[in-house]
């Protein structure tokens, strides 16, 4: 028998992406309308017209509906497209610039809303640590592929961890020249700060 066509798989993936985006869109709308703590997973599922079980298939916790977006997927795709002669940090800088340039007004608003919720809700900030660990693994995979090495390679993971360390430092609410008194930030400023940190890392962190 011949292999089945690839198109149905693509359709399923697109349907999953739409469901995921719909859940997240309704969750953020409810958070804006009635507050994070007053919003339940059951309310989010009802608004998105899915079951609570379906919600949990896409987002393990309520915090994840804020933190897990498509920006990291887009950035990793941009990283894979960078010229092979670029070092890993330079390639990540270029990927971040490409990702920022591709953001439209709605993307920037959603990115900003995510940062605001993360700054305001302690549970989201705590869960963000897990997300950073997950992202280290993703970046290590991407760098390893570019370098032709294992993702478990100590040096590969050290580079990935250093990159995420820069991102964490650049986006921390305590960073007074990034966040204003309401805990909000301009997205362009955040990306500029990340790029500044990566450039400093690329120079070897001289003092």
Residue by residue, pLDDT tens for the chain (207 residues) are 333 344 444 778 788 889 999 999 999 999 999 999 999 999 999 999 999 999 999 999 999 999 987 777 678 888 989 999 999 999 999 999 998 998 888 888 888 888 889 888 999 989 988 888 889 999 999 999 999 999 999 999 999 999 999 998 888 765 434 444 344 457 888 899 999 999 999 999 999
Structure tokens at 135: 């992202």
Count CA within 13 A, CB hemisphere, residue 202: 15
Predicted pLDDT of residue 184: 41
Cα of 32 vs its chain's centroid, Å: 20
HEC string of 29-46 equals HHHHHHCCCCCCHHHHHH
Instruction: Identify the sign of the CA torsion 48, 61, 132, 196.
Output: positive
Output the six-digit token pair for 194. 């990340």
Give me 106's structure tokens.
């709605």
**Under a CB-based contact definition with an 8 Å cutoff, are residues 136 and 160 in contact?**
yes
CATH of the domain spanning 7-59, picked from 1.20.210.10, 3.40.50.10490, 1.10.10.60, 2.30.30.40 = 1.10.10.60
pLDDT at 163: 95
Tell me if domain 7-59 and domain 66-202 are identical in fold: no
Q: What is the pTM of this model?
A: 0.79
Give the pair of three-digit tokens for residue 143. 């760098």
Contact between residue 63 and residue 124 where contact means Cβ atoms under 8 Å apart: yes
The CATH class for the domain spanning 66-202 reads mainly alpha
DSSP string for 85-150: TS-HHHHHHHHHHHHHHH--HHHHHHHHHHHHHHHH-HHHHHHHHHHHHHHHHHHHHHHHHHHTS-
204 Ramachandran zone, left/alpha/beta (phi>0; psi -120 to 50) = left
Compute and round to an integer the Cα radius of gyration of the chain.
19
According to the model, what pLDDT value does residue 173 have? 63
Q: Where are the domains of the chain?
A: 7-59, 66-202
| Residue matched to tokens 């509906």 | 65
């Amino acid at each position: 028998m011949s292999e089945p066509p690839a198109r149905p798989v693509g359709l399923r993936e697109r349907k999953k992406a739409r469901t995921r985006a719909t859940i997240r869109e309704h969750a953020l709308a409810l958070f804006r309308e009635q507050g994070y703590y007053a919003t339940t997973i059951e309310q989010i599922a009802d608004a998105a017209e899915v079951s609570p079980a379906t919600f949990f298939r896409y987002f393990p916790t309520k915090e994840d509906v804020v933190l897990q977006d498509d920006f990291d997927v887009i950035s990793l795709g941009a990283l894979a497209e960078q010229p092979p002669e670029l070092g890993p940090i330079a390639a990540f800088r270029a990927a971040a610039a490409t990702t920022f340039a591709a953001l439209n007004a709605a993307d920037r608003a959603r990115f900003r809303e995510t940062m605001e919720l993360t700054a305001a809700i302690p549970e989201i900030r705590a869960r963000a640590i897990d997300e950073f660990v997950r992202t280290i693994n993703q970046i290590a995979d991407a760098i390893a592929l570019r370098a032709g090495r294992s993702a478990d390679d100590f040096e590969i993971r050290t580079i990935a961890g250093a990159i995420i360390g820069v991102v964490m430092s650049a986006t921390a609410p305590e960073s007074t020249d990034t966040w204003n008194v309401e805990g909000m930030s301009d997205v362009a400023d955040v990306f500029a700060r990340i790029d500044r940190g990566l450039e400093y890392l690329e120079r070897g962190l001289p003092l």
